[in-house]
């Protein structure tokens, strides 16, 4: 018999806080206990995709690296393709690149130039929304390919960092908000 679906409160309880990782002052949200629990992992995929039916999304775009885990599972559930947005220098074919600001310095994400067809309907997923720079850069790449973002979804949102402000042109949803 299938087990009852988890609530977002149960998912929140499984997220582990790691103080001062990867550097002092950062409280890292460790999602590996969620992934390791079959009910919590599949429940989180259910919650990330429940607004959509198979056929409504052409591609789920995942952000390097933990976003891939959720986006790939969501793609299978929605019977959609999976497209990776990767850190610069990792994709083998021709790419579009988008730079964005970090607290100190900049970073660049990339997508293959033929990863999405113009007009394709996209669900963009990452594990965590902090300042929003990464997701905004990924969204800009999706738009550059002429695809349409139906939603940007996160497992976790650190609302005190106001990342939603940078994504205000898109529908945004998150499961667990701190």
Active site residue 12: no
Active site residue 103: yes
Q: Indicate the residue among 4 and 22 with the shorter CB distance to ligand AMP.
A: 22
Three-class SS state of 135 = helix
Catalytic residue among 66, 86, 157, 166: 66
| Cα–Cα distance for residue pair 93/110, rounded to 1 Å | 11
Q: Does 152 bind ligand AMP (CB under 6 A)?
A: no
Per-residue binder mask for ligand AMP (CB under 6 A), 56-95, x = binder: -------x--x-----------------------------
Helices and strands, counts by H and E, the chain: 6, 9
Selected from 60, 80, 125, 128, the binder of ligand AMP by CB under 6 A is 128
Sequence-distant (6+) residues with CB within 8 A of 41 are 34, 35, 73
Stretch of 2-10, 22-30, 54-62, 116-124 contacting ligand AMP, by CB under 6 A? 22-30
Selected from 69, 130, 139, 176, the binder of ligand AMP by CB under 6 A is 130
Hey, which residues does 18 pair with through a beta bridge? 28
User: Could you tell me the strand order of the sheet in which 95-101 lies?
Assistant: 95-101, 106-112, 81-87, 59-63, 121-129, 148-157, 172-177
Three-class SS state of 56 = coil
Q: Indicate the residue among 77 and 86 with the shorter CB distance to ligand AMP.
A: 86
Active site residue ranges: 66, 103
Contacts with ligand AMP, residue ranges (CB under 6 A):
26-29, 63, 66, 126-135, 163
């Amino acid at each position: 018999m299938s087990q009852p679906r988890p609530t977002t409160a149960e998912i929140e309880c499984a997220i582990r806080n790691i103080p001062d990782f990867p550097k002092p002052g950062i409280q890292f949200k460790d999602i590996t206990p969620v992934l390791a629990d079959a009910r919590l992992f599949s429940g989180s995929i259910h919650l990330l995709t429940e607004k959509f039916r198979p056929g409504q999304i052409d591609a789920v775009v995942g952000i390097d690296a933990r976003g891939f885990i959720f986006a790939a599972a969501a793609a299978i559930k929605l019977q959609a393709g999976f497209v990776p947005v990767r850190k610069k220098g990792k994709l083998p074919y021709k790419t579009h690149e988008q730079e964005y600001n970090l607290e100190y310095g900049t970073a660049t994400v990339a997508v293959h130039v033929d990863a999405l067809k113009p007009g394709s309907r996209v669900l963009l997923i990452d594990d965590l929304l902090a300042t929003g720079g990464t997701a905004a850069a990924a969204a800009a790449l999706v738009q550059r390919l002429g695809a349409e973002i139906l939603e940007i979804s996160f497992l976790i949102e650190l609302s005190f960092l106001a990342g939603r402000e940078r994504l205000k042109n898109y529908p945004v949803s998150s499961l667990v908000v701190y």
